Amino acid sequence: MRRDIFQAIADPTRRAIIMLIAVQAMTPNGLASHFDTSRQAISKHLRVLQECDVVKAEPKGREIYYGLEIEKVNEIDEWVAQVRQVWETRFDQLDNVLDNLKNK
C-alpha cells in the first residue's frame, strides 16, 4: 500500500528521521541511537517512510542503510509553493484594498 507524502511528515519522529538521513544514509540502529525509543519503533517509522517512497533501503553486507529519496520530498516543496502563491495573491489584494481606503 502506497501512502501519501504528507503522512510521512505528519509525525515529528519521522520528520526527525528524514532530517538525519538527509545528511547521510543510516541503519535502523544508527537512527535509534538518536531517539529515546526502541529500534522496533524506528523500524515502524521507516516502514511508513518507505510506503510513502521517501526513503530507500540499500543492503550493504549485513546492514541495511536507509537513504532519502529527494524527488519525493520535492513534492512537499511544490505544494508549499502553490499555497504560498495563493496567500501572496491574497495579501496583494488586501494591500490594494487598504491603499484604496487610505486614498479616499
pLDDT at 101: 85
pLDDT at 58: 96
Q: For 1, which DSSP code?
A: -
Residue spans of alpha helices (H) in 1-104: 5-8, 12-23, 28-32, 39-51, 70-103
Look at domain 5-103 and name its CATH class.
mainly alpha
Task: Give the SS3 label for residue 61.
Answer: coil
Whole-angstrom distance, CA of residue 56 vs CA of residue 66:
6
pLDDT at 24: 95
Domain limits, the chain: 5-103
pLDDT at 47: 95
pLDDT at 54: 93
pLDDT at 33: 95
pLDDT averaged over 10-residue windows placed end to end, the chain, 104 residues: 82 96 95 94 95 94 94 87 91 86 84
Whole-angstrom distance, CA of residue 30 vs CA of residue 33:
5
